[in-house]
Structure formats: structure tokens, C-alpha cells
Structure 1
Amino acid sequence: MRLKEKVKKIIIIIFSIKKINKYKEYKHQKKIIYLLSPLHGNMGDQAIAYATLKFYQEQFSDYKIIEFDRDSIYSEYFAIKNCLNKDDIIVLHGGGNMGNLYMQEEKPRRFIINNFRDNKIISMTQTISFTNDEFGKKEKEKTQQIYNKNKKLILLAREDTSYNEMIKLFTVNVIKVPDIVFYLADTMDSDKNRTLITTCLRSDKESIWKNKKDKFKDRLQSEYNDVFIYDTVINRQVTFKSRIPELNTMWDNFKKSKVVVTDRLHGMIFCVITKTPCIALKSLDHKVVESYKWIKDLDYVELVDDLDYDKLKPIIERFKLKQVNEELGFKYKYYDKLAKTLKNYI
């Protein structure tokens, strides 16, 4: 770590000591401390936060839940540490950011795993991915060393590739379970008045369709009247208070869609929970392809290997007429069992 960063962190930690009594009212309560939740406009991450809170509120109803955003961990460190009891649980926000692609997420997660060793830590459903270069190898080794020192750490892997990588790298408990946003399946009604043909395609570093994306959208708009160009990222901060209204607005747009074409994992998952026909494409890593395995038997979600308009049009035509009413049953199949397993560990 560079000297400037070290000095900055020391200043932040000194400032956090002044907050040491901030949460003393929770000292004698049985609680879950939920750390690293997002304030940014990636609504997939916001849905993970919402589903995580819903899971623990329903499955661990005897615990008080206190949520902290990612950037507060250093400034609130001593205050959090001071209010913890040995039987309290720490829950870490999930996602697709375990690895070296998003170091702004990995570094604070390491900090928590390294500095909170007296409490059970549950890292929610994650995809793990390190680049195959010197930087990736170096960061993988750091992550491996820090995680393996914490014997109370539990990792949730959201697909096969991540599960296999985690059990290879780590000596801690690893559980395979679908992305936590699937916990919301069967909680929403399907809208019969659908009008839109929607694209929800990445424009960030995880996109692999940069050269084909605009061409596909142009063809789509030339042949269909109600094309909606959309994304699961909004350009504004999302607070704890605004999270649910923002998510409901997004899910309403999915419910208005006859079919969605997406390379976003949570674009695909939003389709599943809103009972919206979906054409899914892979992105930079394995998370879409691997997570599709959980839902491969659904007849309204199809994984394709190319963003080619002529190949996708027959699927669009077939899906735009489809009405979806089937129940997924993931809560019973996976999440009730997950809750039981976690309670046994705890």
C-alpha cells in the first residue's frame, strides 16, 4: 500500500474511534451486522441487498439487523467492533466482485475478514474470478491467505465454477446456492399487459458485445415499434431509503416487457422473478452461463451464444406471445435449506 493510502487509512481509523459509543444501544441485542451494501446505481447490487435483508428478516427473525454501506467500514470500524457480542453474525454483501476485477470491493471485504475473527462471517452469494496475469495471481494469493486465516468464515458460491474455485483456494466452509435475488421468485405477479421489446445490454468493461450491440439495436428498432433500450444501472446514488422505490420502478419496466434481451446476470434474474421471457447472453466471465444452470428447465429463458439479429428474431417472435405463470419454488428448494445449514454452523 502506498504511503499516502496508509496515512489516509490511519486518519479514517482515528476518526472512527470517536464514534465508539455510536451503536452502544445495540450492545446487548442479538444482531446481524450487514456490511458492504451498495450506494451506487447498479440495481443488480441493490436487488442483492434487498433480497439479503429479506432473507435474514424472514429466516433469522430473532436477530436485529444493522446495515452499513461499503464505504463506511473504515470510519465505523471501532463503533461496530465495540457493539458486537460473540454470538452476533456478520453478513457481507454478495455479487460478482470476489477477485481482482473490482478491487474497491475486494479490499474492504479482506479488511473485514482479517479484522473480525471473533464472529461468524457469512459472505453472501458470490462469483469469484481472478485474471490470468501477474496482477490476478498476486491478488489471488493475498485473498487466499487472508480468507484462510479466518476459521469462522462461511462463503456462499452462486454457481459451479465459483464453488469449485472456492473449495480449491480456501479451507473455510463453502456452500453452493443460487444468487440470493432468486429468493424473490414467486413473490411478484405477472403483468398480462406487456407491450415492450426490451434490450438490457452492458456498456461497461464486462461487455463482450461492443461491436455487435449497436447493430443489433438498430435492426431491432427498424422492425419493431415498441423497443425499449434499458439497463440495470442508473446514473444516481441509491440510498437505503430509495432502494425499494428504485427497484420497484425497474421491475415494473421488466413486467411491461414481452421479451428482454440481456447479457446482465441480474437482467436475466429480474426476468425470472417478474415472469418475463428472456434471451440471455454471456458476459466477460462465467456468471451468466453458470447461473443459467439453475433455471435451464424454464421454457421462457433461453441462453444463446451470439448477439446476431437473424438468429434471435425467431426466439423474440416465439417469446413475445408467451404467458408465464409457473412457480419456481426456489425458497423451498434452496433457501430454507440454506437457512437451516447456516443455523447449524452458527
Structure 2
Amino acid sequence: MPVTINIRYKYLLLVTLATISILLFLYGLTRTDMQTIKNPTSLSSPKIHEPNNRKSLFMKAPVKNSAQCESTISFQKNVLFTFYKHSFEGIRKVALIGFPDHPNKGDSAIYVAERDLLEGLGIEVVYICASQSDYSTSDLQAIVQESSPEVFAFAFHGGGNFGDIYPDHQQLREDVIRDFPNGKFISFPQSIWYNGEAALQETANLYAEHPQIQLAFRDRQSYLIGVDGFGKDNELLLTPDIVFFMGDLSHIRESTPIKSDVLILARLDKEGGQQHSSESLYQQGLTSHNVTYSVEDWLGWDPEEVRNPDATFDIKGKSRFLSGAQFLASHKAVITDRLHAHILSTLMGIPHIVIEDSEMKKITNYHNTWLRGCTSDGVSVIVDSPEKAVDTLLEWKMQQYI
């Protein structure tokens, strides 16, 4: 008889636990549905059942290769929304520090994604500055005083300028931190690079005095450097690059006329490892196989709207982003050594090959952290020389992936 009672209790306990689990699951679904209603730009989970005629993001790649990359993109978008929803909880107004007022189209893509995310969270951008020359302490103080401290935050523009390679950008952030010692600071995802330990320690000492600084790093290597330098006193996150919040951008590719087979987007600035002198290699390797191409960096030009002296930050950011995306999309495939050419090509479904031979390894570090699911034929690969890039491109052409 005692055994029978124990068994009954056992089954009663199992039934109770199962009921609780089901109720918690249903509650979770309700919470998710409510969040979607409150934030129409919030994220949807990847669909389990897709119609057979659904178009692949990478149209000519094997379906499984494209599908794996599409899942990788969705995952990063969800991670970004989840992290920043928590980071900006209760915040209704922000000052965006470090607008990228230069022709680097990748940094403009970052800006557009930051604005999209803030808008999705219902947060108003009430102040923007690009550099020390247009930053006004008094103007920003007046705006801050008009808001309750608990609903106001300073948002640092993301990208690859955390460190001593681009000292002007770093100095602007540090100026704002010193001017607003009681402020709440939230960084969008960054890569970090210091050539000298002393400079890193100087920044770490300043940040240690301001515990309300939250830093976000977009690759494992940067995160580990951040943990060593800032982890004791500041909150740190490892998140994808903010541009992945845009999600699928295939509509840009689909609406852009093709100009040539391959764009070789080789950076001109000091971060680059790829050299424009390799053009003779491309001519020999590509022209002989009837592949049309162009070699160019997107730093060399700006859209007409940007050159208007009355252009706002929003006009500049959106125009540069769109022109950069269309620049990539006007070719069937891309060879590049720029991280955001890699990211935007991924989001638009453009087959591309990344050349990485720079000391920073910024692209490889990001790819290995977040984009392994997009490493496949007809999607993207990373190589360490222009020769390997040409060989891979010709293989893809033979396999009809481009």
C-alpha cells in the first residue's frame, strides 16, 4: 500500500509539472506576441515551414547554403534586438555621439541601422554630433536638463573606431563622458584596436570612473580585449554588428541594374591589406575568362544629396548607405577587403569573396564569431590573397553560382 501511494504522488507531481510547463510556454508566447504588437519593427523567429517556391537569398547558390546563411542573419538580428531592448529599457531620449560624416558607406549603414533600432524601441534622437568641431557641451547640457535622468542616455555610434587608430573619434567620446559624469552611456557594437598599451590603460582609467558605461564589442577578439581592459568596472556585451538589424536587403539587389560581373572593392585607407596594384592580376585572370570587372573603393565619391550644404545628418546617412548598397548590387559578385562590403553583400544575397591579410584581422574576427553559417560556395568565403580570390571566383563561375 505505501508503494501505491508513492506512485500516485509521483504521477500527480509529473502531471502538475507538465501543466505548469505548458502554462509557462503559453505565457511566453503571449509575451512574444505582445512585444511584436508594441514594436512593429521587432523581430520574428525564423519560419519552420516555408513554401516550396520561396526565393533563396543567394539565388544561384545551393539552396542549403543560402538557407543556412539566412538563419545566421535572423539569429543576429534577434540577438541585437534582445540585447538593446534590455540596454535601453526605460530610455525615451538619446544623444547620438559620433555621426559618421565621411564617405565610408559602411559607417553610414551602421548609422541607418542604429536609427532603425532606436525607432523600433520608441526612442527619440534629440541630439547628434559628428566630431569635436560640432559638439557643443552647452547645447547638449540644455537638452539633458529638459529630460528626466532616468529616461535619457548617450548612445555611442558603433563601428571600428574604438582605440587609437582613429583618435578623433575616441577623443569625442571621452570628452562627452567627462562633461556628463552622471550620464548613462550605451555603445553600439564596436571593434577595438590599440597600438599601445598605455593608450588603452588611459581610456580604461577614465571609463572606470563612470560605472554607467556599457560597452558592446562585435567579435570575440575585441570582447576579450575589452574584458581585460574594462571588464572590472564596466558592463560589456558581445553582440553582432548593428547592420544585421536591417535583415534581408535583397530588394536593393533586385531593383539595381547590373553593370559588370565583378566589383573589386579594395580599400584605400590605412587599414587595408589588399592592394590596387593587383589590378594587373585581375586583368590577366578575369579578362581572359570573359569576366567583366571594375576596381574601386567607395571612399572615392559621395552622392549628390550629400554635397548639398543644407543636407541633414539623416539625409547624409541614408544617401550614403543606399548608394553604397547599390554600388555593390550593380555587380553579380564582389571581391573585397571591407567588413561592411562583406556584411551588406551578405544581407543582399550577393556572392562575394573576402581578402583578409591585414594585421587587424577585423573581417576574419567578425566572420569567425558570427558568420560561419554563411561560409559556403556561392555565398561567401575568406581568402588571404588576390590570387586565391580570382581562383575561387572562376570556380564559382564554372559552377554557375554567379
Shift of 1:217: 3.5
The 1:211–1:202 alpha-carbon spacing in structure 2 relative to 1, beyond 3 Å, is closer
Question: What secondary structure, in the 3-state scheme, does the structure 2 residue paired with 1:204 have?
Answer: coil
1:285 to 354, 357, 360: 360
1:47-70 Cα deviation digits (max 9, x unpaired): 111111111111x21x22134132
* Aligned amino acid, residue 196 of structure 1: D
Counterparts of 1:64-213 in structure 2, within 5 Å, are: 64-71=124-131, 75-84=135-144, 85=147, 86-87=149-150, 88-131=152-195, 136-170=196-230, 171-189=233-251, 190-191=253-254, 194=258, 195-210=260-275, 213=278
Q: Distance in 2 between matches of 1:318 and 1:67?
A: 50
- More helix per residue: 2
Unaligned runs of 5+ in 2: 1-90
TM-score, normalised via structure 2 length: 0.66
* Aligned amino acid, residue 95 of structure 1: G
Q: Distance in 1 between matches of 2:286 and 2:401?
A: 21
1:266 to 323, 340, 364: 340
The 1:83–1:53 alpha-carbon spacing in structure 2 relative to 1, beyond 3 Å, is same
Q: Distance in 1 between matches of 2:143 and 2:127?
A: 13
| Bigger RCO (CA 8 Å, 6+ sep) | 2
Kept in 2: contact 1:251–1:270 (CA 8 A) = yes
2:393 to 313, 316, 320: 316
* Aligned amino acid, residue 285 of structure 1: M
Shift of 1:229: 1.9
Shift of 1:71: 2.0
Question: What secondary structure, in the 3-state scheme, does the structure 1 residue paired with 2:373 have?
Answer: coil
Kept in 1: contact 2:163–2:194 (CA 8 A) = yes
Kept in 2: contact 1:191–1:256 (CA 8 A) = no
Q: Does 2:382 match 1:306?
A: no
* Aligned amino acid, residue 337 of structure 2: D
1:152-194 Cα deviation digits (max 9, x unpaired): 0000100000000101101201100111112122143243975
Shift of 1:205: 1.0
1:40 to 102, 118, 141: 102
Deviates more, 1:96-105 or 1:77-86: 77-86
Q: Does 2:294 match 1:228?
A: yes
The 1:74–1:209 alpha-carbon spacing in structure 2 relative to 1, beyond 3 Å, is closer
Q: Does 2:372 match 1:296?
A: yes
Q: Distance in 1 between matches of 2:278 and 2:180?
A: 44
Question: What secondary structure, in the 3-state scheme, does the structure 1 residue paired with 2:386 have?
Answer: coil
Kept in 1: contact 2:118–2:124 (CA 8 A) = no
Q: Distance in 1 between matches of 2:276 and 2:99?
A: 33
Shift of 1:142: 1.2
Q: Distance in 2 between matches of 1:315 and 1:191?
A: 24
The 1:130–1:196 alpha-carbon spacing in structure 2 relative to 1, beyond 3 Å, is same
1:256-302 Cα deviation digits (max 9, x unpaired): 22211111111111111111111012234121011112112222010
Kept in 1: contact 2:264–2:336 (CA 8 A) = yes
Question: What secondary structure, in the 3-state scheme, does the structure 2 residue paired with 1:71 have?
Answer: coil
Q: How many residues align?
A: 287
CA RMSD of aligned residues (A): 2.3
Question: What secondary structure, in the 3-state scheme, does the structure 2 residue paired with 1:297 have?
Answer: helix
Shift of 1:306: 1.7
Kept in 1: contact 2:106–2:324 (CA 8 A) = no
Aligned residue number for residue 36 of structure 2:
none
Unaligned runs of 5+ in 1: 1-28, 324-346
TM-score, normalised via structure 1 length: 0.76
Kept in 2: contact 1:220–1:227 (CA 8 A) = no
Q: Distance in 2 between matches of 1:235 and 1:256?
A: 16
Q: Distance in 1 between matches of 2:131 and 2:345?
A: 30
Shift of 1:251: 1.2
Please tell me whether Structure 1 or Structure 2 has the larger radius of gyration of its CA atoms.
2
Kept in 1: contact 2:276–2:295 (CA 8 A) = no
The 1:220–1:109 alpha-carbon spacing in structure 2 relative to 1, beyond 3 Å, is farther
Q: Distance in 1 between matches of 2:119 and 2:281?
A: 42
Q: Distance in 2 between matches of 1:225 and 1:187?
A: 26
